[in-house]
Amino acid sequence: MSTKSILKKSSITFLEQYLNNASPTGFEAEGQKLWMEYLKPYVDTFITDTYGTAVGVINPDAPYKVVIEGHADEISWYVNYITDDGLIYVIRNGGSDHQIAPSKRVNIHTKKGIVKGVFGWPAIHTRKGEKEETPKISNIFIDLGCETKEEVDKMGVHVGCVVTYPDEFMILNDNKFVCRAIDNRMGGFMIAEVARLLHENKVKLPFGLYITNSVQEEVGLRGAEMITKTIKPNVAIVTDVCHDSTTPMIDKKVEGETKIGKGPVVTYAPAVQNNLRELILDTAEEKKIPFQRLASSRVTGTDTDAFAYSNGGVASALISLPLRYMHTTVEMVHRDDVENVIKLIYETLLKLENNETYSYFK
């Protein structure tokens, strides 16, 4: 399978639609519906749970179960306090970056539909003194163009409404995908593409495959924690994003060195099962898929941790997509890496043996 042939025009059309749709943590359902509709021709059935995790299943009756997983949610804000003169203060829903907020346009999601607003900021002319105030949760605020709290109420905006950025998908220099929420809607897209390739290449897997798009990763891996108890998998291959540490102001001695365009990133961490990881690395070498390595100290900070430590221990591994500018509205990945992550997961599935335990004690 040549890398060049992986992403079809229809794939990119879906990717754009999927990224542009807002799916903030706790409110992922509309995005999940789009994802399931795309996945429908390639799977036998679906599982969904109370909080909105969606799973496309191939061979649902097979006793041995393999998960490939991404997460569906994006960071956002909650409306937290509305002043008498109609300004809105926010709290985080996930790891939203206060420093990028000033002068950003926002969408506030209400029962009446989307209400537009902006994060205001005092003009440079008015910021006197030696030390300028930097943006922080206590001083960033949203302006809806209202003069009173009553006007805000009439628009349907209240405490607890979720706030997202409207920034949409674009392609830079032919091969860089840029958008908010690439972390980790790109993961959901990549596992869906694996399912499409299995279908188009008429692959018959000997085990059950659970293509899992988990909710609520950004607030503590919560969706994965729930769904792994439902599926009870034997193996989990998780895909998420990691940092391109070659951009300015990042310390490689702390973050390691990974770069967009250099291939999927395979993680070493306590939660990563060594035999499963080595199978992935052997697959990459055999199929000449470029890859990079990354070490995580105690936790991976991804859904890998939730799967690994569930159900008495599930053999788990992490294949990451290097990304620039995480948790901003201009997250950037390389098309080649996207295709190579898809290819690496696909080729690994073809090498996975039914009923393999990955035991260290054979």
Distance CA 252, CA 242 (A): 13
Determine whether the annotation assigns residue 218 to a binding site.
Answer: yes
CA–CA dist 141, 137 (Å, integer): 8
CA atoms within 13 A on the CB side of 192: 28
Please give the full DSSP string across 70-139, using - where no structure is assigned: EE--B-EEEEEEE-TTSEEEEEEESS--GGG-TT-EEEEEETTEEEEEEEE---GGG--SSSPPPP-TTT
CB 36 within 8 A of CB 57: no
Instruction: Assign 25 to helix, strand or coil.
Output: coil
- Residues with a catalytic annotation lie at 217
* Residue 199 annotated as lining a ligand binding site: no
**From CA 186, how far away is CA 182, in angstroms rounded?**
5
Cα(45)–Cα(37) distance, integer angstroms = 12
Asked whether residue 97 is marked as a ligand-binding residue, the answer is no
Binding site, annotated residues: 71, 183, 218, 240, 327
Binding site, annotated residues for Zn(2+): 71, 183, 218, 240, 327
